Amino acid sequence: QSVLTQPPSASGTPGQRVTISCSGSSSNIGSNYVYWYQQLQGTAPKLLIYRNNQRPSGVPDRISGSKSGTSASLSISGLRSEDEADYYCAAWDDTLSGLYVFGPGTKVTVL
Amino acid sequence: QVQLQESGPGLVKPAETLSLTCTVSGGSISGYYWSWIRQSPGRGVEWIGYIYYRGGTSYNPSLKTRVTISIDTSRNQFSLRLSSVTAADTAVYYCARSHGGGSDYWGPGTLVTVSA
């Protein structure tokens, strides 16, 4: 069982905005950066957001991340069919001498 | 464009040692942290550990007694050894470059099955 909590699923129609939450604790999200990854079916995860709200080169600005306290969220606006994927949050956890933890993932479906 | 590729046996017997190598191309292995991450239906996405190009390591505490990550900068490769494997170690294993705390380049992954 992950120390980070995500809803198992989220959905929206093309053009809509979808927001995915990620809840943690003071030892992970509360004191460290949050990262978000997108995993398309059958492929490796891809970094979407680093350091809470920074986008790597090539990630469109309709993708955004935020953090408040021990929770974080990923928003996808202008939803497109190619956004259908699994999304994982991740953060370093300060317990047990350092551990990079991933959330259980949220499956986004484009209706 | 940095590319990573995992290689190694796809089938390992219980109690034996899983060994994988990641070859980095299109860029230098120097200056970065390099990670191993695995994914299975039962355990989700699990960070195994990382190695700095100078050799310093950090491992997942739950795997620490069984894991060794090493690096060969002359070959632009780093490797994973996981000893005393069980069926619970069956997973897709990914190598990745870690930069700024996140993993920005990943290999395609390799399925390792633990079975007699």
| A27 — pLDDT class (breaks 50, 70, 90) | very high
Pairs from A52-57 (Cβ < 8 Å, separation ≥ 24): A54/B100, A56/B104
Given a cut of 80, whether residue A96 has pLDDT beyond it is no
Neighboring chain B residues of A101 at a CB cutoff of 8 Å = 47
In this complex, is the C-beta atom of B72 within 8 Å of any C-beta atom belonging to chain A? Answer: no
Mean pLDDT of chain A: 95
What tokens were used for B25?
A: 């191309």
Nearest to A86 by CA among A25, A29, A42, A24: A42
What's the rounded mean pLDDT across residues A85-97?
Answer: 91
pLDDT, tens digit (0-9, with 9 covering 90-100), for A41-67: 999 999 999 999 999 999 999 999 999
Q: What DSSP character marks residue A8?
A: S
Whole-number pLDDT of residue A16 = 97
At A46 the pLDDT is 97
Interface of A with B in 11-70 (CB under 8 A): 32-33, 35, 37, 43-47, 50-51, 54, 56
Q: Which residues on chain B are in Cβ contact (under 8 Å) with A58?
A: none
Q: What is the mean pLDDT of residues A5-12?
A: 97
pLDDT at A24: 97
B52 touches chain A (CB under 8 A): no
Question: Contact at 8 Å (CB) between A83 and A108?
Answer: yes
Q: Does B47 sit within 8 Å of A101, measured CB to CB? A: yes
Cα of B3 to nearest chain A Cα, Å: 12
Give one word for B84, left, alpha or beta, with left for phi > 0 and alpha for psi -120 to 50.
left
Q: Specify whether the backbone of B93 is left (phi greater than 0), alpha (psi in -120 to 50) or beta.
A: beta
B25-75 pLDDT, tens digit each:
999 999 999 999 999 998 999 999 999 999 999 999 999 999 999 999 999
pLDDT at residue A1 in the model: 74
Contact A105 B45 (CB under 8 A): yes
Residue of B nearest to A103 (CA): B45
Q: Name the closest residue on chain A to residue B59, using Cα atoms.
A: A99
B2 CA: distance to closest CA in chain A (Å): 14
Average pLDDT over residues A21-30: 96
